[in-house]
Amino acid sequence: MSWNREGQIVSGIYQNSFTVIGKITFSRVKYGAGMVQHTLELFTPIEIYGTMRTHVLLDENELLSTSKAGE
């Protein structure tokens, strides 16, 4: 499996509090840490600290399930 998950539909836990689901629009390896981080475009925006968010960043270990777009 590749670390690049762009285009995949995933669910995950954001900030150990919010269950989110959406499509990964960008994957990157975090410099120095060697960990993979994904930009997730949410299907349903969430409010965090009084601001509506349409995108969040999730580390690979925060993902719960994945599928390829179109499945």
Residue type, 58: L
Task: Write the pLDDT tens digit of every residue in 11-51.
Answer: 999 999 999 999 999 999 998 878 999 999 999 999 999 99
CA atoms lying within 13 Å on the CB side of residue 11: 4
- Examine the pLDDT at 68 and tell me if it is beyond 70: no
Enclosing domain of residue 12: 8-68
pLDDT in the model for residue 13 = 96
Split into its structural domains, the chain has a count of 1
At 70 the pLDDT is 54
Residue 69 and residue 9 in contact, taking contact as beta carbons nearer than 8 Å = yes
| Of residues 70 and 42, more confidently modeled | 42
Is 67's pLDDT higher than 70? yes
In a domain, 45, yes or no: yes
Backbone angles phi, psi at 68, to 5 degrees: -80, 150
Tell whether 2 is covered by a domain: no
